[in-house]
Amino acid sequence: DQQVKQNSPSLSVQEGRISILNCDYTNSMFDYFLWYKKYPAEGPTFLISISSIKDKNEDGRFTVFLNKSAKHLSLHIVPSQPGDSAVYFCAASEGSSNTGKLIFGQGTTLQVKP
């Protein structure tokens, strides 16, 4: 049972344009969401997060949008840069359980072309 889903395994974008990565979840108890960037043979690097009390969080070129009714979140990167090319994972946690467990999506490989 995949509670966090990233249905697009890959995305290719031209440098300077916007990259939009999508993530859906099924567990309505999730209340904290994070996006990570990962290179092969390395651990994930934290990018940005959002709490369920918000619908948008922005940090520089990265913006995360949360639509709770649709159980959907997205990561916008603008402008995209070649250095953004990596695998992006969304993750969710159920804060009320206080376990801190993160459930990851399958990842989306982003390629930004110069």
Partner 1 sequence: GAVVSQHPSRVICKSGTSVKIECRSLDFQATTMFWYRQFPKKSLMLMATSNEGSKATYEQGVEKDKFLINHASLTLSTLTVTSAHPEDSSFYICSAYRDSGYTFGSGTRLTVV
List residues near partner 1 by CB under 8 A. 2, 4, 9, 32, 34, 36, 41-46, 89, 95, 99-107
Q: Is the peptide bond before 40 cis (omega within 30 degrees of 0)?
A: no
Contact 6, 23 (CB under 8 A): yes
Closest distance to partner 1 from the beta carbon of 88 (Å): 12
Closest distance to partner 1 from the beta carbon of 87 (Å): 9
Closest distance to partner 1 from the beta carbon of 107 (Å): 6
Q: Which of 78, 63, 74, 67 is CA-nearest to residue 19?
A: 78
Cβ neighbours for 98, distance < 8 A, ≥ 6 positions apart: none
Using the minimum distance from each CB to partner 1, give the nearer residue, 41 or 70. 41
Using the minimum distance from each CB to partner 1, give the nearer residue, 32 or 62. 32
